[in-house]
Amino acid sequence: MQITDTGFLCGYFSAKNAAKGLTAAWQKIQYTDAERASLNNYYFPEFAQCMTDGVTMYILPVDKTCTLDFGEEKVSFHVANLRLWEAPFHIILYAVELRFEQMDFNTVTRALNALRNCAYYDTLQREFIHTALLPVVAVYNATTGENRTTEGDLSWLVESGNKFKLFQIVQVPEGIEPGDEQFLLYDAGTLARHTPHSTGINSPAYIEHILTEHTISVFAGWSGLALLDTFTLLSSDTPERVVKNWEKDYFEKIYIYQLFRKVFLYSVNLRYRQRSEEVTVLESRLSEFEQRYSYTAISYNFLPNIISAAIEKSLNTQRDYDQLDKMIGKEIEARRNKAEEKTNHFLTFLTCLTIFSAIYDFASLLNDSFGYDTLFPSGYFGFRLVGTTLLLIILLVYLFLVRRK
């Protein structure tokens, strides 16, 4: 089966001031007032502002062809450009746009598997690394102060994994065989070999579960599959202008937004586990993030909200937030209880000092007024007797009040 695949290999890492690592060849994307107004008619203003002002996008034109030499097969593909987003909380996201034009489905999935698994790069990917990843490595080194090389394992370019995330638009110009669409969608999303009407190595029950839980099917002509590592749109006879809209909206806006949320939560969780920052600082950061960058809906239209919810579900973003918020909240509460306990102990100590001081002062006043040595065998004995009696009276009153409660 011949397909055309437009794919975006996405990575991310934490660093400050990405702009200082960008050369003049990187073009900053700036929105005009008319473009902002158009976005505000489609997206809720707070989401549109987040993705145009809060997140800054840069693009680096590449326009080169790379080849993967598998020995018995050579696969050529087009590297269109690099895109980089400088997001809040010192998060940098980037994507390499690839284009496979009219190729066999299994050839494309084989190539994408080889390109995604950056922990296992060797000489096969050398041309791709030089063409597409060297500019990203330069930004990484400039912003982190490190001096990483491009030999072997490049998983450090993906802060929380060993492979790139993949957003892809798979077009089947000649149409899809009846009854084979679901299998093709599953194989495209998992980058598996496709044999028409076959479940391959996975059980039919597992495939049915994945498709039921993660398929987006709204209109005839296309369907989507949102998984943890991939997001796939499968279409037939789709005009190029629609594909471009999918890139601008579903990828550049919605997918990058949800990926930003995922990376932020990972970074907070990492700092919490490593104890590299105070938990109160992390609590404040998490609260700020929830207030400014979490939305129950992003658009006036239903479809972007469906796409966003499907990506959020596949990335487990809300679950990550809930667990992190619960863990940090428990520790903050435990610390507060411990601080309150220390304060209560200190207050009890001060109260005891106050009581003893009051008893001493009152006993001294009685001694000055009546003279214990005239009423008791000795003044010392009288002082102790009066003080002890007063203390017993206070204890009895206290116990009476406690029992009444």
Distance set, CA 387 to CA 352, 353, 364, 365, 400 (Å): 14, 14, 9, 11, 20
What local confidence, expressed as pLDDT, does residue 375 receive? 65
What local confidence, expressed as pLDDT, does residue 333 receive? 74
What local confidence, expressed as pLDDT, does residue 378 receive? 66
d(CA 83, CA 250): 15
What local confidence, expressed as pLDDT, does residue 325 receive? 87
d(CA 345, CA 343): 5
pTM of the model: 0.84
Q: Three-state DSSP class for 243?
A: helix
Going from N- to C-terminal start, the domains of the chain cover: 2-315, 330-404
What local confidence, expressed as pLDDT, does residue 379 receive? 63
Instruction: Please report, in tens digits, the pLDDT of each residue of the chain (405 residues total).
Output: 899 999 999 999 988 877 777 999 999 999 999 999 999 999 999 999 999 999 999 999 999 999 999 999 999 999 999 999 999 999 999 999 999 999 999 999 999 999 999 999 999 999 999 999 999 999 999 988 888 888 878 999 998 888 999 999 999 877 677 667 888 999 999 999 988 766 677 788 888 999 999 999 998 889 999 999 999 999 987 888 999 999 999 999 999 999 999 999 999 988 888 888 888 888 899 999 999 999 989 999 999 999 999 999 999 998 888 888 888 888 877 777 776 767 766 777 777 777 777 777 776 776 666 666 666 666 666 666 766 887 787 777 777 776 776
Record the tokens describing residue 293, joined without a space.
Answer: 């960058």
Q: Three-state DSSP class for 204?
A: helix
Q: DSSP for 102-167, please give it.
A: EEEHHHHHHHHHHHH-GGG--GGGHHHIIIIIHHHHHHHHHHH------SS--GGGBTTSSS-EEE
334-347 burial by CB neighbour count: b if 16+ within 10 A, else e? eeeeeeeeeeeeee
Residue 183's Cβ-count burial label (10 Å; 0-12, 13-18, 19+) is buried
CA-based R_g, the chain, Å: 33
Phi/psi-derived region of residue 18, left when phi > 0, alpha when psi is between -120 and 50, beta in every other case: alpha
Sheet of strand 230-235: strand arrangement: 27-28, 56-69, 74-87, 91-104, 2-14, 165-171, 230-235, 222-226, 215-216
What local confidence, expressed as pLDDT, does residue 6 receive? 96
State the number of CA atoms in the 13 A half-sphere of 322 facing the CB: 4
